[in-house]
Amino acid sequence: MRIGVLTGGGDCPGLNAVIRAVVRKGAGVHGHEFVGYRDGWRGPLEDDTMPLGVPEVRGILPRGGTILGSSRTNPFAVDGGPERILANLREAGVDGLIAIGGEDTLGAASRLHGEHGVAVIGVPKTIDNDLAATDYTFGFDTAVNIAMEAIDRLHTTADSHHRVLIVEVMGRHAGWIAFHAGLSGGANVILIPERRFDVQQVCELVGRRFASRFAPIVVVAEGAEPVGGMPVPEAGPRDAFGHVRLGGVGHWLEGEIERRTGKEARATVLGHVQRGGTPTAFDRVLATRFGLHAVDAAEAGRWGSMTALRGTEIELVELTAATAELKTVPPRLYEEAEVFFG
Ligand code: F6P
């Protein structure tokens, strides 16, 4: 069997671990051949390939990013995109694809499979951890650890200067990174997109923390919004899947907190630092297990499915389930953390 592999959407630590596991088991156990497609769906659309065999995957387990490159190309936004993909796969003698991606990449995979008969297995990745079909996506644990470490460091400098330090983290419309990083880093306020926040209440928590002689750390998810919404209209650039570029709430809060409390407030935007560099052990193991199960699924002809973590087991679920629902932070979980606020 000849299998194409691609990585699409925002990169995250652990992508190379999946690629390595797919190729090592596929070539070593099942006798598969592989083709690497560059930059997500752009690869099969434009027939842009690279060699992918055991020599190419040696040494990549701890490396961040993806040796295949990534993009947010949407094959359904390109005229005749699905037909071009089918023709290119046929021409290259590729029997099926392993697509490693998040909501958008897997959403396209699901449609390509369901509407155009493309043989594809999905592997879920995203630092946002917002795919409902799997308990965890790889990349999330690394992003949380990076953010937690940043919060640990910000505590000491905030205390020295008696400042409010705000940390803006990624996560799109889910607050998982903010919630886990804030809870593990001992943040004094955690603001997530799932619950609109009241700035005045944030300022009261800030005041309470200062009363303890320590300085407050506010963790804010990039998608979090105040009651009444952000004053700036959402007019920024959109990607091929129609997503706006988020960010800015941290600096907005900086001004609001300073104005209302008279305390100096400074924001740190962690940005792409959360997506770069070496994966944690948890992410390497999860990514490796996903890769092993994905290539077994291809061998078994389970096209149209996706690997998922359920408890401690890796299972196969329908690709359509992968993107059916956004997994957000449940209110009861958030309320558990409120005891540490202020
Ligand atoms: O989905 C992963 C993610 O890092 C989000 O948390 C973030 O909003 C988005 O991607 C940023 O995407 P880009 O790097 O394309 O600006």
pLDDT at 151 over 80: yes
Q: Is residue 66 part of a domain?
A: yes
Q: Is residue 334 part of a domain?
A: no
Strands (E), 282-321: 305-310, 313-318
Q: Is the CB of 246 under 6 A from ligand 1?
A: yes
pLDDT bucket at 26, cuts 50 / 70 / 90: very high
CATH number at residue 223: 3.40.50.460
pLDDT bucket at 207, cuts 50 / 70 / 90: very high
Neighbours of 333 (CB within 10 A): 16
Q: 100-110 pLDDT, tens per residue?
A: 999 999 999 99
Q: What is the mean pLDDT of residues 6-17?
A: 97
Ligand 1 atom with the smallest distance to the CA of 72 is 15
pLDDT bucket at 248, cuts 50 / 70 / 90: very high
Rounded Cα gap, residues 163 and 157, in angstroms: 8
Q: Take atom 3 of ligand 1 and give the residue whose Cα is closest.
A: 10
Q: What is the mean pLDDT of residues 119-141?
A: 97
Per-residue pLDDT, 238 = 83
Q: Is residue 302 part of a domain?
A: yes
Centre of ligand 1 from the C-alpha of residue 47, in Å: 26
Per-residue pLDDT, 234 = 58
Q: Is residue 330 part of a domain?
A: no
Q: Is the CB of 70 under 6 A from ligand 1?
A: no
Same domain, 132 and 193: no
Same domain, 8 and 131: yes
Q: Is residue 289 part of a domain?
A: yes
Which two three-digit tokens encode residue 243?
């997503």
Per-residue pLDDT, 284 = 98
Ligand 1 atom with the smallest distance to the CA of 177 is 6
Centre of ligand 1 from the C-alpha of residue 12, in Å: 10
Which value, in Å, is the radius of gyration of the alpha carbons in the chain? 21
Q: Is residue 41 part of a domain?
A: yes
Q: What is the mean pLDDT of residues 130-154?
A: 97
pLDDT bucket at 233, cuts 50 / 70 / 90: low
Per-residue pLDDT, 235 = 62
Q: 284-336 pLDDT, tens per residue?
A: 999 999 999 999 999 999 999 999 999 999 999 999 988 888 999 999 999 99
Q: Is the CB of 128 under 6 A from ligand 1?
A: yes
Each residue of 76-88: b (16+ CB within 10 Å) or e?
eebeebbebbeeb
Q: What is the mean pLDDT of residues 63-84?
A: 97
Q: Take atom 15 of ligand 1 and give the residue whose Cα is closest.
A: 10
Q: Which residue, of 276, 301, 334, is where some domain finishes? A: 276
Same domain, 203 and 167: yes
Per-residue pLDDT, 155 = 98
DSSP annotation of 167 reads E
Ligand 1 atom with the smallest distance to the CA of 128 is 6
Per-residue pLDDT, 244 = 84
Between these two residues, 45 and 245, which has the higher pLDDT value? 45
Same domain, 146 and 272: yes
pLDDT at 237 over 80: no
pLDDT at 156 over 80: yes
Q: Which domain holds residue 240?
A: 140-276
Q: Is residue 292 part of a domain?
A: yes
CATH number at residue 93: 3.40.50.450
Check if 198 is active-site: no
Domain count within the chain: 2
Same domain, 118 and 184: no
pLDDT bucket at 115, cuts 50 / 70 / 90: very high
Q: What is the mean pLDDT of residues 248-272?
A: 97
Same domain, 174 and 228: yes
Same domain, 11 and 129: yes
Same domain, 251 and 149: yes
Q: Is residue 296 part of a domain?
A: yes
Q: Is the CB of 131 under 6 A from ligand 1?
A: no
Q: Is the CB of 182 under 6 A from ligand 1?
A: no
Q: What is the mean pLDDT of residues 21-33?
A: 98
Q: Which residue has the tokens 């004053």?
A: 231
Same domain, 128 and 245: no
Centre of ligand 1 from the C-alpha of residue 172, in Å: 7
Same domain, 13 and 134: yes
Q: What is the mean pLDDT of residues 91-118?
A: 97
Rounded Cα gap, residues 289 and 17, in angstroms: 9
What integer best gives the mean pLDDT of the chain? 96
Q: How far is CA 56 from the centre of its chain?
A: 25
Q: Is the CB of 171 under 6 A from ligand 1?
A: yes
Helices (H), 53-102: 54-57, 81-91
Marked catalytic residue, from 11, 39, 104, 128: 128
Same domain, 216 and 256: yes
Q: Is the CB of 172 under 6 A from ligand 1?
A: yes
Same domain, 54 and 127: yes
